[in-house]
Amino acid sequence: MSNKPELPKRPERIELPSPPALPEVSAQPEFASVQYSTHRTKLSTFRTKLSEHRTDLSEYRSDLSTYRTSLSTHRTEMSMRRTGMSFQRTRMSDDRTLMSVIRTSLSLIGFGFTIYQTFQKLHEAGTIANPNAARNFGIILVLLGIVMLIVGMIHHVQFMMELRHTRREMKRQGLIHGDSRFPVSITFMVSLGLLLLGFAAIVNMVFKVAVFG
Kindly report, residue by residue over 33-63, the tens digit of the pLDDT.
776 777 778 778 778 777 877 777 777 777 7
Residue 58 lies in a domain: no
At 205, is the secondary structure helix, strand, or coil? Answer: helix
Is-contact 87 117, C-beta < 8 A? no
Residue 166 lies in a domain: yes
**Would you state the pLDDT for residue 159?**
92
What is the number of structural domains in the chain? 1
Q: What is d(CA 80, CA 123) in angstroms, rounded to the nearest whole number?
A: 65
Residue 122 lies in a domain: yes
Residue 163 lies in a domain: yes
Predicted TM-score (pTM) of the model is 0.63
Residue 101 lies in a domain: yes
Over the stretch 141-187, which tens digit does the pLDDT of each residue have?
999 999 999 999 999 999 999 988 888 888 888 777 666 677 778 99
Mean pLDDT of the chain: 79
Residue 21 lies in a domain: no
Domain encompassing residue 148: 82-206
In sequence order, the 6+-apart residues with CB closer than 8 A to the CB of 185 are 91, 95, 98, 156, 160
Residue 128 lies in a domain: yes
Residue 66 lies in a domain: no
Residues 38, 44, 47, 53: what is their CA dihedral angle, to the nearest 10 degrees? -110
